[in-house]
Chain A
Amino acid sequence: MIAMDIKQRIKEQVTAHPVVLYMKGTPQFPQCGFSALALQVLDACGVQDLFTVNVLADADIRQGIKEYANWPTIPQLYVKGEFVGGSDIMREMYQSGELQRLIQEAKQQA
């Protein structure tokens, strides 16, 4: 089970910033192709104030985030505190225009 304090930390992270990406590595040095793809998609959507969390630098978060959203893989995107999906879903939503709309709405409400 996910420890309450880890869950609380994740909840604070995803609600404190409009767009949060849990990824392997950093935007400058992504350490996994799927995390790199996720960054490219967000960049294409015009996200400027992206907050990223490097799960490789925090073992508790790396494990906790998988249980938080009942999602076993990284990257994970959150918009306005809500889990949106992993890199496949991000790419599909970008191709259909849904992700751009979601990001735009988050920007306007921020």
Chain B
Amino acid sequence: MVTPESVKTGIAAGLACEHVEVVGDGQHFQALIVSGEFAGRSRVQRHQLVYAALGERMREEIHALSMRTLTPEEWKSGG
């Protein structure tokens, strides 16, 4: 079973993040991800960065990952 903590670790290992929160039930997860890497990138490109960080796990272990992707500036201003 996939834990929210392991999803969080996976994201943080593949993407330089200022802040990551993940909650979930083992199959469906919700994440808040704050990263300077998101600056100047579209929503689609931001999500693709997170998917790339999770790699094969996204295909095989994680059924669904709902996410909010913010830059540190967006996060500070209340996202």
Residues of A within 8 A of B43 (CB): 85, 89, 92-93
Task: For chain B, residues 29 to 53, give those with C-beta under 8 angstroms from any C-beta of chain A.
Answer: 43-44, 47-48, 51
> Between A and B, how many residue pairs show CB distances below 8 Å?
30
Does any Cβ of A come within 8 Å of B19's Cβ?
A: no
Asked whether, in the complex, the Cβ of B44 is within 8 Å of the Cβ of A73, the reply is no
9 more CB-based (< 8 A) A-B contacts, given A73-B58, A89-B47: A34-B64, A71-B47, A71-B51, A83-B44, A84-B44, A86-B47, A87-B66, A88-B47, A88-B68
Interface size class of A (residues with CB under 8 A): 10 to 19
Most buried by A among B51, B65, B66: B66
Encoded as 1 (CB less than 8 Å from any B CB) or 0, chain A from 48 to 91 comes to 00000000000000000000001111000000000111111100
- Where the two chains meet, the residues of B that have a C-beta atom closer than 8 Å to any C-beta of A are 43-44, 47-48, 51, 58-59, 64-68
Asked whether, in the complex, the Cβ of B64 is within 8 Å of the Cβ of A85, the reply is no
Residues of B within 8 A of A83 (CB): 44
Asked whether, in the complex, the Cβ of B48 is within 8 Å of the Cβ of A70, the reply is yes
- Where the two chains meet, the residues of A that have a C-beta atom closer than 8 Å to any C-beta of B are 34, 70-73, 83-89, 92-93
CB distance from A62 to the nearest CB of B (A): 12
Asked whether, in the complex, the Cβ of A89 is within 8 Å of the Cβ of B44, the reply is yes
Once bound together, how far apart are the Cα atoms of A84 and B45, in whole Å? Answer: 11
Please list 22 pairs of residues, one from A and one from B, whose beta carbons are closer than 8 Å in the complex, sorted by A's number: A34-B64, A34-B66, A70-B48, A71-B44, A71-B47, A71-B51, A72-B51, A72-B58, A72-B59, A73-B58, A73-B64, A83-B44, A85-B43, A85-B44, A85-B47, A86-B47, A87-B66, A88-B47, A88-B68, A89-B47, A92-B43, A92-B68
